Amino acid sequence: MLETIGFLELNSIAKGVEAADAILKTAEVRLLFAKAGCPGKYYILFTGEVAAVKSSMEAGARIGGANTVDSCVIPRVHPQVIRAINLASEFETVGALGVMEFFSVTASVYAADAAVKAAEVDLIDVRLGTGIGGKSFVVLTGEVAAVRAAVEAGIHNKNAEGMLVSQVVIPNPRREIFDSLI
């Protein structure tokens, strides 16, 4: 089970690779992924104990220096967040649809965690900037009131504020809309 995640977003692929190496060498953490994204960004997601993730994040951000776009450490991350990042989410029923769009990939990670902790919703996707110009978005479903509460919690998370592009809650979307997002 994942306890704490660290996510580092850089605007240099070379510095990203160097930062990922430093992250793994600093403390006992496990790399979930390290990959290039658009437009020339590099994303590193890793997990471990809180202290290990924090010290590894400090090392990675130090290496990233001026190329560090954003970072986050989330203790007690909700398991749905990792499943949605990995496009491995399963949802039983199609309910209301909520979408939160951000300029920062890190803001989506924070918003997704806040949203799923605030209301009983299912995260469908946390899309991390690949092929969409470095922006990111979160897709979730559930009862209308729960989706509204989750979206509000996500967009008003202090670590995501200022990065919001747009958000929407659609009470009764057509199934084709869900299929197009998966």
Q: What is the CATH number of the domain that holds 85?
A: 3.30.70.1710
CA-to-CA separations, 42 to 84, 130, 141, in angstroms, rounded: 19, 10, 29
Give residue for tokens 């010290």.
55
Q: Do 117 and 137 fall into the same domain?
A: yes
The distance from CA 51 to its chain's CA centroid, rounded to whole angstroms, is 20
- pLDDT score recorded for residue 37: 82
Residue ending a domain, among 12, 45, 75, is 75
The whole domain housing 172 covers 79-181
Q: What is the pLDDT of residues 28-83, one digit of tens each?
A: 999 988 988 878 889 999 999 999 999 999 999 999 999 999 899 999 888 888 77
Highest mean pLDDT among 2-6, 117-121, 127-131: 117-121
Q: If you average pLDDT over residues 96-112, what whole number do you get? A: 92
Q: What is the pLDDT of residue 164?
A: 92
Task: Looking at the structure, tell me whether residues 63 and 21 fall in a common domain.
Answer: yes
Domain boundary among 75, 103, 134: 75
Q: Does residue 90 carry a pLDDT above 70?
A: no
Q: Are residues 172 and 109 in the same domain?
A: yes
Phi, psi of 140, rounded to the nearest 5 degrees:
-140, 165
pTM: 0.80
Integer Cα distance of 145 and 54 in angstroms: 35
Count structural domains, the chain: 2
Number of Cα atoms under 13 Å in the Cβ half of residue 143 = 5
> Considering the chain, what is the average pLDDT of its residues?
89
Sequence-distant contacts of 88-91: CB under 8 A, at least 24 apart: 89/122, 89/123, 89/124, 89/125, 91/122, 91/124, 91/141
